[in-house]
Structure 1
Amino acid sequence: MNILIIAPSWVGDMMMSHSLYQALKTQYPDCQIDVLAPNWSKPLLDRMPEVRKSLTMPIGHGAFNLRERYRIGKSLRNQYDMAIVLPNSLKSAFIPFFAKIAVRRGWKGESRYFFLNDLRANKNDYPMMVQRYVALAYEKGAIPAADKLPIPTPYLTVQQSAVEKNKEKFSTQFELAENRPAIGFCPGAEFGPAKRWPHYHYAKLAEMLIEKGYSIRLFGSAKDTDAGEQIRSSLPETLRRYCINLAGQTQLNEAVDLIRDCTAMVTNDSGLMHISAAVNRPLVAVYGPTSPQYTPPLSDKAVIIRLIEGGLIKIRKGSDSAEGYHQSLIDITPAMVMEKLETLLAKE
């Protein structure tokens, strides 16, 4: 059986989709899985052994472009027995329909009745996103209840030779930091400052860790470069050499390897949090307005700190500080994170 996956557009969701691919291999042992996804995700999909190949989705997130969707669908005809559509939008169901794939499976959403013929309507029975993904591996009527649904842990393969090669690329910075064991920080968040732990808290934690003999690696996209510099500039000048801002300097593939090389990670709720979990790093994840009940890091080495109750609060910028930080994250002190981190490190 050949299966086409219409993949999500965000890093964290892409990582959680790996649980589905593993579950499909259990349900259909001889299946071949191809994933239609944005080009940026190829470095992740190439590290998932269950995926035969990644197909580049040339249409940007949010773009309708019906003509191009028809062209892509037509090019995929007579290749697949099943399609599984992970995004909830109507437009995401067009390509499998145009490809005339016999079984087109997905959750009910945005009036997709005509385009999906294996439609699931009981989404609320599965409160976690990863549960919703994995449930799509099962035939209708044979899906275990949420509390009995096996959830394979997402993982990414890492070659030590690639890790060493990427370390060599940044050897000058690492040597300046005396090649100390590294704790990685992921201070960015795609959806705005309300999801970010304050830069001054990161800086204080960095100072505490540097004084214990660690170096700090700051990870993120080019958008997070300034956040990283805020952290570095908040450190005493004599300690800044031990805090290396890699945000915007690494490709995703390089970031995966350099995160795997870290002793532990401290992150906001972000895509890099899910990557940190997938490469099996001890991880402290700080949550504020977003809900760890819906998209937690999927790792037994992860500890979550959240001081408020309830589900998702839809806010991009908080009114509790000039920077837009949310009070629930301001209230998480560096000492709280340090305590959890030391507990994790003691188990290694």
Structure 2
Amino acid sequence: MNSPAGRPIRPRILVLAPNWLGDAVMTSRSLDVLDAALGGDFAIHLAVNRAWLDLYRDDPRLEGIIPVERPGRHDGIGGLFRLGRDLSRHGFGAVLIGPPSLRAAMIGRLAGIPVRVGYRTDGRGSLLTHGLAFPGRGASHFSEQMVVLAATLAGALGRALPEGESSGRRSPLLPGCLGVPCDPGPGPAVWAFGPGATYGAAKTWPLEQAAAFIEAAVMKRGVRLVLLGDAAAGRHSPALARTSGVPWSKTWGPEPGVVDLLGRTTLPEAVGVLRRCEAYVGNDSGLMHLAGALGVATVGIFGSSDPRWTSPLGPWTSALAAEGFPCRPCFRKTCNQDVFCLETVTAAVVLAEVESLIRRRAEGSEAP
């Protein structure tokens, strides 16, 4: 069968992306694997939360991208069936189900997709045609766990991975990511700092250490430090400004100081800012993953989460975690211990790690 343009109509496969920003970024490596194994003969489509569409809008690996409206028309029980109907119209032959939830597997079943690949989590094994045992959080990197699903889907379609493509480690990680150009104007180098973490306080670097890092970056390194994050992260601004004692503004200027953009950027605007940054420091969060994937020298700070599972990807990235705490990684939203592990991760250690990554990038050597 041929398309109106005279090209053969290729069978369609779907990748249902995870819901969180960071997980959506880490999905990119699985697309590399699918593109290597299936590209050219199969049309790869991605269903992703509308908020993250711009990560993949111009991605050359994708034939199409489908917005998932959550919040919106795909919320709730009714939304579950609506999304299933929406996807069923595309005639997908196979789906990689990224989210680990029962709901996500139900979507694939409701869409009538015959080959459904995913991990057997949340009691959903019977809804998968190719269900894999979940190796566990931190048993391998999240991106590698997604790559395993991609390889399984390719195998289910009778395709083997080309030699050297087993890890999906192509570069850049986000070849179709759209950003709004940012012009910080003349002045010293720009670094970015993300003080928030949507998941909870147990993933958030404490105020004293964060303020000390801000002071060191501005006063010792002489950089312009832009704060990035959503509106919820903006609650940190007053205390950070008061404790750090450095020049603080909401607009770009030519002198060292903080440029506070918390809650004031869209995703494409944040991408544009990050592309002008020499370095990024932040908690284990979506912005951390985005910065690393864009090639920024990125230091992720890990409290309750596990860097073996969700460390930032990219050529110049590093993950710092507290040592000597048998309770971590606990994956809790709030700490229930007498001493919070992230209180022991000092500004000096983080600053030294940033400087090391910047040197490595200047030398052309990737982080270990």
Task: Indicate whether the TM-score tops 0.5.
Answer: yes
Question: Are 1:86 and 2:98 matched, yes or no?
Answer: yes
Equivalent residue, structure 1, for 2:50 = 39
8 Å contact from structure 2 (residues 17, 97) kept in 1: yes
Instruction: Flag the 1:156–1:96 CA change in 2: closer, same or farther, 3 A.
Output: same
CA distance in 2, matches of 1:48, 1:159: 7
Q: TM-score w.r.t. structure 2 length?
A: 0.80
Report % sequence identity: 24
1:54 alignment counterpart: 65
Partner of 2:265: 250
RMSD: 2.8
Shift of 1:17: 0.7
The one-letter amino acid paired with 2:281 is V
Task: Pick one of 12, 19, 22 that aligns with 1:12.
Answer: 22
- Partner deviation per Cα, 1:101-128 (whole Å, 9 max, x = no partner): 2211111123323322122235359632
The yes-or-no answer on 1:318 pairing with 2:335 is: yes
Cα distance between partner residues in 2 of 1:156 and 1:225: 27
Contact 1:194 1:315 in 2 (8 A): yes
TM normalised by structure 1 equals 0.85
Residues 1:209 and 2:222 aligned together: no
Query: Partner residue of 1:170?
Result: none
The SS at the match of 1:184 is strand
Q: Is 1:2 matched with 2:17?
A: no
How many residue pairs match? The answer is 329
**Distance apart, 1:98 and its partner CA:** 2.0
Residue equivalent to 1:171: none
Q: In structure 2, what is the equivalent of residue 198 of structure 1?
A: 206
Paired with 1:49 and 1:70, the residues of 2 have a C-alpha distance of 30
Per the alignment, residue 188 of structure 1 pairs with 196
8 Å Cα contact 1:47/1:156 also seen in 2: no
1:227 alignment counterpart: 236
1:333 aligns to 2:346 (yes or no): yes
Tell me, in whole angstroms, the C-alpha distance in 2 between the residues paired with 1:114 and 1:339: 50
Instruction: Flag structure 2 segments of 5+ consecutive residues without an equivalent.
Output: 1-10, 250-256, 363-368
Matches of 2:304 and 2:90, distance apart in 1: 45
Q: Which amino acid aligns with 1:221?
A: D
Structure 1: gaps of 5 or more residues: 168-173
Alpha-carbon distance in structure 2 between the residues aligned to 1:109 and 1:327: 30
Partner residue, 2:5: none
Per the alignment, residue 25 of structure 1 pairs with 35
Give the corresponding residue for 2:112. 100
Q: Aligned AA for 1:222?
A: A
CA distance in 1, matches of 2:245, 2:353: 24
Deviation at 1:151, TM superposition (A): 3.6
Distance in 1 (CA, whole Å) between partners of 2:233 and 2:116 is 38
- The answer to which of 126-135 and 14-23 deviates more is 126-135
In the alignment, the residues of structure 1 paired with residue 265 and residue 349 of structure 2 have an alpha-carbon distance, to the nearest angstrom, of 30
Name the counterpart of 2:127: 115
Cα 1:236–1:121, aligned 2, differ >3 Å: closer, same or farther? closer
Pairing 1:277–2:289 present: no
Structure 1 window deviating more from structure 2 (107-116 vs 253-262): it is 107-116
